[in-house]
Amino acid sequence: MELAAQKEGWSLTEMAQNVARDIHDGAYVNLGIGMPEMVAGFIPEGREVIYHTENGLLGMGAVAASGSEDPELVNAGKKYVTAIPGAAYFHHADSFAMIRGGHIDICVLGAYQVSQEGDLANWSTGNPEDIPAVGGAMDLVAGVPSVFVITKHCTKSGEAKIVKECNYPLTGKKVVSRIYTDLAIIDVQNEKLFVREMAPGVTFESLQQQTGAEIHLIQEMEGHDKKE
């Protein structure tokens, strides 16, 4: 942890906290597999959020305690979970009607790449050796009004994940609303990237260097003054 604290930017925990802060009271939320799952742990007190898991549960609770796992109660990542009082089970077509029909307010997903226009690539690297698998990602980005992406700003080898145009196969075109990285929080609007917030120690110049597309200050966003 000490090592992480010395590094530039936000930790994974802080990234998850940043996302959680933007989830409103009463929201119906779908969290993708992996890093997005962390967000549930940081919803500010006083807010009630209902979690949807696309395999047929609204009102997903915490991960099941060791010893009380139920193989017939799992989340989309096939982890053993629990259901809260007031939960509901339903079949897959209903579950994706909730998604495609625009009833889920927010989804949080991981990414291989996000383009400046909000295109998302998160299901395939295009490597012919990989077994193609898509799951529910394309349905989520097509149907959920607010698509939040949580991701490291760059790949392990230092390549920008936020790019002019994705070269990995797309999950959806012009679908991402906001990107939460270890370096910044970035809004996608009118096919441009606007920096809402930067992690301590990060400068606009260094952020631009690590981003594969042009970034703008939030003040330049149309109607920004009226919104804040």
Q: Which residues bind another protein (CB under 8 A)?
A: 53-57, 70-75, 78, 83, 89-93, 95-96, 99-100, 124, 129-139, 142-143, 169-173
To the query of whether residue 117 is one of the catalytic residues in this protein, the response is no
Q: Which amino acid, 49?
A: V
d(CA 123, CA 82): 27
As a whole number of angstroms, the distance between CA 121 and CA 129 comes to 18
Q: Positive or negative CA dihedral for 185, 189, 191, 192?
A: negative
| Of 15 and 170, CB closest to another protein | 170
Among the listed residues 8, 37, 45, 54, the single catalytic one is: 54
Smaller CB distance to another protein: residue 47 or 78?
Answer: 78
Q: How far is the CB of 191 from another protein (least distance, A)?
A: 14
Q: Name the residue nearer to another protein (CB basis): 24 or 78.
A: 78
State in angstroms the smallest separation of the CB of 226 from another protein: 25
Beta strands 184-189 and 120-121: pairing type? unpaired
Quote the least distance from Cβ 106 to another protein, whole Å: 17
**Run of H or E including 183:** none
Using an 8 Å Cβ cutoff, are 175 and 109 in contact?
Answer: no
Residue 41 or 126: which CB sits closer to another protein? Answer: 126
CB 82 within 8 A of CB 62: yes
DSSP state, 74?
B
Contact 166, 151 (CB under 8 A): no
In whole angstroms, the minimum distance from the beta carbon of 84 to another protein comes to: 13
Say if CB 183 and CB 150 are below 8 A apart: no
Known catalytic residues are 54
